[in-house]
Chains A and B, each alone.
Chain A
């Protein structure tokens, strides 16, 4: 084991921010987090909208949402990334690597979150909904003030799981040549040539810390008072 060759200041800098301070080209953990956070936000948005549609009783609302879920859940993410990156140029559209990876992971994560949102909405007790209807709330008000806040709280553990998967999935970016954490790690490994164990263990460590951070953060939110203080300020 020769950790001193792997854990040099220059290598750590490349792993964390890529060549940001040399050439202005961001990379490493920075890009991984940018894709991760971006796809988490976009995926949650897609999931929330389509999840509400999926819970509806009207066929023209739930069928498209169901089709979306079936299509995007049953295809490997790598195939989606390839669709987003290699196919648009064929039709004369140029998409950057960052955009295509972000798009693919957002759509993929969204498909899973649809089902989570649907489960969350189901978990709200019907009595609450009847009470809100009796009070004369419109359907939109009912959704915004009664159903969604409770559903969101119930969805937290499942959402945390999906978010961790999203962060893990950003590592696919290196297969289309984006300088994310995995790619930088591979580059350092290729340059050193004799220390694959050390470099990949370092990558494991970084991903592990980030993902455990997400799980712990949501576990903090699972304390009811904390959740209410943050999201339900009435």
Chain B
């Protein structure tokens, strides 16, 4: 079979671009909610409330140990049983696939982000928090002015990894029919028989998206640690003489 990449300038290209917009929307919303969930659960786990601890543990372990696709399917298919009928009908008119995908991805990645945030907070000596409290700063003040600014340096690189993982996982939303890039590939393959060309384009686009995210994260990390003194540069281990 002959490949003809010039077809990408026609309809298939437009379809892919529509898919790209959907992928970006899906990523942005899921990332927003995942960050919120992660921040709340991460801080709660870090503070170590006795009562909330089992709930947080259960959420994080459960969410991290089950496949994201199954979570997407779960939130999509069981919504009509969990939600009251009026709410479900409203959601269905609004386009429920999108909502279910955002919900599932936010819950799945929220668990990872919670662990990232907890690790970042743990990297600051507990004494600083105690000192801040002793000086009369409230809980939220000591977090905002003392702990979080220092731990962002640790959190941001890990968060970048999570963001690229989230962007990649938005491709799973095609399982419930969200019309994003991967779905557009199937569509182009089925109806226009230009699968290989479309798949190549989509692969390149995903790669660019992920590399841009990683690059932005690296820049931000560099900016955040501009005041940190570097320890001696690491020697290559398997160096040849």
A interface residue numbers (CB < 8 A to B) = 52, 55-58, 70-71, 73-79, 82-83, 86-87, 90-91, 121-122, 124, 126, 129, 139, 143, 147, 164, 168-172, 174-175, 182, 185-186, 189, 196-197, 200-201, 203-204, 207-208, 211-212, 215
Contacts and interface: CB of A to CB of B under 8 A. Distances in A.
A225 to B, nearest CB: 26
Contacts, number: 133
Given A168-B66, A171-B70, A204-B74, A83 B199 contact: yes
Contacts of B196: 87, 90
Contacts of B203: 75, 79, 83
B25 interface: no
A200 B90 CA distance: 24
B182 interface: yes
B189 interface: yes
A186 B73 contact: yes
B9 interface: no
Nearest to B80: A196
Interface in B144-195: 164, 168-172, 174-175, 182, 185, 189, 195
A73 to B, nearest CB: 8
Nearest to B170: A76
Interface residues of B, number: 45
B74 A75 contact: no
A90 to B, nearest CB: 5
14 contacts: A55-B238, A57-B236, A74-B164, A74-B206, A76-B169, A78-B182, A122-B237, A147-B237, A168-B66, A175-B175, A200-B73, A200-B78, A204-B70, A207-B65
A203 B199 contact: no
A196 B62 contact: no
Given A71-B207, A90-B1, A197-B81, A169 B67 contact: yes
